[in-house]
Structure 1
Amino acid sequence: MKFNCIILDDEPLAQEQVEAYISQCDELVLLGKVSSMQGLERLLNMHKADILFLDIKFRGGDINQIAKLKIKDYIIIVITALSHKHLDEYNLKFARDILFKPFSLESFKNSLNKVIPLKAVK
């Protein structure tokens, strides 16, 4: 089974890292990379996504804006450089997993192993 993914991060190096990891996972297909909420909404209107890799802070906003999406339609993996103590400021109850930058390919795959079974049974 293939899973369509979108990356929302305003840091080009972080986007490249997640893109490289996605390319090493046969079950993942990258639909696009965006740096703003508007870009994410545009891609979601054009494509059916399964997994969203979302940074907490991005151009023009933060992850608290994600609540206006139909969150239950997606598996959301948060990617962040913030420390644990700064996460309380954000609504992350919809996140299935959190990856702290910089993260390894092994951590990325471990995260997928946690969340992909959730999507497969829907």
Structure 2
Amino acid sequence: MSLTALIIDDEPLARQELQYLLERAGGVEVLAQGTNGIEAVELIRTHKPDLVFLDVQMPGLDGFGVLKKLLDRKVPMPQVVFATAFNQYAVRAFEVNAVDYLLKPFDRKRVMQTIEKAQARRVAPVESASDAKLDALLRLVEEQTQAPKANSGKVIVRAQSRLLLVDQREICFASIEEGTISVVTRAVEGQSNCRTLEELMDQLDPETFWRAHRSYVVNIQHIREVVPWFKSSYQLRMDDAQKTEIPVSRSQTKRLRELFNL
């Protein structure tokens, strides 16, 4: 009897690749695909699958947040296979009770092993994880995978299916649009896993980074030019490749003048 499964990943190519490998492997019926954590919670609640292939890093509600939501709502926990591009994680954290892991890019043999492991557990299930034990696992994994803090000098930026550790001094600016945070350097443009600019700011040096606008955080060391704008307002021309112009909100005009003695 086939395992029923869901695939949850915000990357279309990753979903397609995993669907293809599962079809080739056999023994798994994919009921649906989801593109984010919110969809994941609802799909798991609705379909009650045997197995969920769950991306760790997703904008908004990430893989860990999905499991927390399931625990909070008392939804029966399926077997969970985390998908991640971080090969430096402590793998044993994923191998507790019904939890497994797959590294991106996916490997056919490793997918087969995961399916065999899940099928074996259905035939001879191991002791199920208690809420307390699973919660402890989530805390452990989150501690190992959370973005580096300001004292490390590094920020995680997701670009072209890679997770890069970027020196925060190289960041020109960050912006948020429809809940997605973009981070721009002279060489790289990608997305942050933070949910808000406030959360990103907590990782950055407050002496260097300034919230010039509700939608923008700028590195003052990468401001190329201050451009006078309409009605005593200003824009900042940054030194990234696109020479991006960023508005300064009226509430931050005083701070701008203090920074540059305007």
TM-score tier by shorter-chain length is 0.7 to 0.9
**Counterpart amino acid of residue 60 in structure 1:** G
- In structure 1, the residue matched to 2:113 is 110
Whole-angstrom distance in 1 between the partners of 2:70 and 2:123: 21
Partner of 1:61, secondary structure, is coil
**CA contact 2:48–2:78 (8 Å) conserved in 1:** no
Identify the structure with the greater helix proportion: 1
Partner of 1:73, secondary structure, is coil
Partner of 1:110, secondary structure, is helix
Structure 1 residue 43 displacement after superposition: 1.6
**Counterpart amino acid of residue 113 in structure 1:** E
The residue correspondences of 1:40-51 to structure 2 (distance < 5 A) are 40-51=40-51
Structure 1 residue 107 displacement after superposition: 1.2
**CA contact 2:84–2:101 (8 Å) conserved in 1:** yes
- In structure 2, the residue matched to 1:57 is 57
- Larger deviation, residues 91-100 vs 29-38: 91-100
Structure 1 residue 67 displacement after superposition: 2.3
Structure 1 residue 94 displacement after superposition: 6.3
CA separation of 1:17/1:45 partners in 2, compared to 1, >3 Å: closer, same or farther?
same
CA separation of 1:100/1:12 partners in 2, compared to 1, >3 Å: closer, same or farther?
same
Structure 1 residue 77 displacement after superposition: 0.8
2:63 aligned with 1:79: no
Residue-by-residue CA offset, 1:98-118 (whole Å, 9 max, x unaligned) = 111112211100122222211
- In structure 2, the residue matched to 1:69 is 70
Count of residues in correspondence between the two structures:
119
Give the TM-score normalised by the residue count of structure 2. Answer: 0.41
**CA contact 1:11–1:35 (8 Å) conserved in 2:** yes
**CA contact 2:8–2:55 (8 Å) conserved in 1:** yes
Structure possessing the higher radius of gyration over alpha carbons:
2
Structure 1 residue 40 displacement after superposition: 1.2
RMSD (Å) for aligned C-alpha atoms: 2.3
Whole-angstrom distance in 1 between the partners of 2:107 and 2:87: 17
Residue-by-residue CA offset, 1:18-65 (whole Å, 9 max, x unaligned) = 110121233110011111122112222331200000111113122221
The structure showing larger relative contact order (alpha-carbon pairs under 8 Å, at least 6 residues apart) is: 1
Partner of 2:25, secondary structure, is coil
Give the TM-score normalised by the residue count of structure 1. Answer: 0.82
CA separation of 1:98/1:17 partners in 2, compared to 1, >3 Å: closer, same or farther?
same
Percent identity at matched positions? 24
Whole-angstrom distance in 2 between the partners of 1:21 and 1:38: 25
Q: Spell out structure 1 runs of 4+ moving beyond 6 A.
A: none
Structure 2 unaligned segments of length 5 or more: list them.
126-262
2:102 aligned with 1:99: yes
Partner of 2:105, secondary structure, is coil
